[in-house]
């Protein structure tokens, strides 16, 4: 009898990883708000300041407008030590601007908090953008058009199944893949004097 129990337990132990692998992953659904025809999602910056970000998979970094950056500095959520340099960024209209880059110690969307997220400062008066420096670090994410929500999925294997089963209509769920953008070229340098 003890031998049979040991064999049965052995089979259960071997099957456990397979059973766990087939369990659905955990997903968080965050209701989106509409602002001027764009989807925005609330996020907490460095545990101190709540902002509404436009989800922008075409932005390589999280983007904070200069006027909002000043508020973050005044509140102490961002300091000079967080600045990591400057870069040239290309905006959606094709224009190029020099921009400060800095690190957000924490950016939290729903229950998903990421540490050390690279961000850039955009010209004053723009909107905060939730770009690839945050989105690409998530295991999986999508916009569910039927529920008007951002779905953050912790398990890549189940995200496609969940998207396919959420509705049978063709345009309900939009899986989003990170955009791969070419690097912004540096401004041309003048040749050295002869």
Q: Is 60 exposed, middle or buried (0-12, 13-18, 19+ CB in 10 A)?
A: buried
Instruction: Using the predicted structure, report yes or no on whether residue 159 has a pLDDT greater than 80.
Output: no
Q: Is 98 exposed, middle or buried (0-12, 13-18, 19+ CB in 10 A)?
A: exposed
Tens digit of pLDDT for each residue in 43-60? 999 998 899 999 999 999
Sorted by where each starts, the structural domains of the chain and their CATH numbers stand as: 26-175 (2.40.70.10)
Q: What is the pLDDT of residue 93?
A: 85
Per residue in 1-10, pLDDT tens? 566 655 555 5
Q: What's the pLDDT at 15?
A: 47
Give the chain's mean pLDDT.
76
* Ramachandran assignment for 5, one of left (phi > 0), alpha (psi -120 to 50 degrees), beta (any other): alpha
pLDDT tens readout for residues 90-115: 877 888 888 999 999 999 999 999 99
Three-state DSSP class for 182? coil
């Amino acid at each position: 009898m003890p031998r049979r129990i040991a064999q049965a337990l052995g089979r259960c132990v071997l099957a456990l990883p397979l059973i766990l692998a087939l369990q659905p992953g955990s997903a968080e659904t965050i209701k989106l708000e509409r602002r001027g025809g764009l989807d925005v999602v609330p996020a907490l910056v460095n545990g101190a300041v709540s902002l509404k970000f436009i989800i922008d998979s075409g932005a390589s970094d999280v983007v904070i407008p200069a006027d909002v950056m000043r508020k973050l500095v005044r509140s102490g959520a961002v300091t000079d030590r967080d600045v990591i340099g400057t870069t040239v960024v290309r905006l959606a209209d094709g224009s190029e601007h020099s921009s400060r880059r800095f690190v957000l110690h924490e950016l939290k969307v729903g229950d998903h908090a990421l540490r050390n997220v690279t961000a850039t400062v955009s010209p004053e008066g723009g909107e905060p953008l939730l770009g690839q420096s945050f989105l690409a670090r998530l295991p999986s994410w999508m916009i569910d058009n039927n529920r008007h929500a951002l779905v953050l999925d912790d398990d890549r294997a189940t995200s496609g199944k969940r998207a396919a089963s959420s509705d049978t209509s063709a345009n309900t769920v939009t899986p989003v893949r990170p955009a791969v953008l070419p690097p912004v070229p540096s401004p041309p340098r003048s040749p050295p004097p002869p």
